[in-house]
Amino acid sequence: MPNPTAAILIIGDEILTGRTRDANMHHLAQELARAGIDLIEARFVRDDHDAIVRAVNDLRKAHDHVFTSGGIGPTHDDITADAVAAAFGVPIGIREDARAILAAHYDRAGLEFNAARQRMARIPEGATLIENPISAAPGFSLGNVHVMAGVPDIFKAMVASLLPRLTGGKPLMSQSWRVEQGEGVIATPLAELAAEFPDLSFGSYPFIQNGVHGSNIVVRGTDPARIDAAMARLAKLFPNPRV
């Protein structure tokens, strides 16, 4: 059986204006690879309700899982929860279990559980909470859409809480081979090798180092024996003078 597929939807004007650099896609890609879930699409969208609804609906129909990042805080532009509820056509409101988690958190911190903070307890009907051990405000899963915070440390904690609930496939593994020849030289034999191993993916990443033009070839797949076989062929095709 093929691995489940996934997409990430990164939400926020601060990402698209360059004010904030996204780190969550990189982290999620690594974690999903280990879990045997193939991340095959990433999309960025601004803080716009209709744009988020369209993106959620497009992605949830195309993939087994959709992970969202950003827009679930207490401010006026945190509209992801409302947009996801609209995408599924379900109501949203303050949910008692989410409210209790947040109320206890702010009570321990000696802070007022005001109206803005209570907004983070608004959960679409039918959703399952995703634990947030850092700042308490929960994410949630609705259908195959998993809604999480944009702050990287909180996003990482939510991913760790969520992944044990998901069914994955075979972990993605990789090996690399350094070739001190440019891509224009290796392109044809590398394409022929890739055709011999259609179950693997081959990536070529050029570099210039100390005046040497070369390529790092990365072989990825779920069968370690097949990767080893491809690496042996690579070594014969492109002998590495440093080995």
Each domain of the chain, given as residue ranges in start order, spans: 5-165, 173-237
pLDDT of 134 > 70? The answer is yes
DSSP string, the chain: -PPPEEEEEEE-HHHHTTSS---HHHHHHHHHHHHT-EEEEEEEE-S-HHHHHHHHHHHHHHSSEEEEES--SSSTT--HHHHHHHHHT--EEE-HHHHHHHHHHHHHHT----HHHHGGGEEETT-EEE--TTT---EEEETTEEEE-SSHHHHHHHHHHHGGGS---SPPEEEEEEESS-HHHHHHHHHHHHHH-TTSEEEEEEEEETTEEEEEEEEEES-HHHHHHHHHHHHHHS--TT-
Distance (Å, whole) CA 140 – CA 132: 10
Distance (Å, whole) CA 65 – CA 143: 9
Using alpha carbons only, give the angle 55, 59, 60 rounded to the nearest 5 degrees: 115
pLDDT class of 242 with cuts at 50, 70, 90: low
- The answer to whether domain 5-165 and domain 173-237 are alike in fold is no
Does the predicted TM-score (pTM) go above 0.85? yes
Higher-scoring residue by pLDDT: 243, 162: 162
**Tens-place pLDDT, residues 5-40:** 999 999 999 999 999 999 999 999 999 999 999 999
**Tens-place pLDDT, residues 56-76:** 999 999 999 999 999 999 999
The whole-number pLDDT of residue 243 equals 46
pLDDT of 192 > 70? The answer is yes
CATH number for region 173-237: 3.30.70
Distances (CA, A) of 130 to 93, 150, 164: 17, 14, 11
CATH number for region 5-165: 3.40.980.10
Alpha-carbon torsion (115, 78, 86, 99), positive or negative: negative
Long-range Cβ contacts of 149-156 (<8 Å, 24+ apart): 149/69, 149/70, 149/72, 149/73, 150/10, 150/11, 150/12, 150/24, 150/69, 150/70, 150/71, 150/72, 152/23, 152/24, 152/27, 155/24, 155/27, 155/28, 155/69, 156/27
Q: Which of 39-48, 104-113, 205-214, 226-235 has the lowest mean pLDDT?
A: 205-214
Residues of the chain with pLDDT > 90: what percent?
92
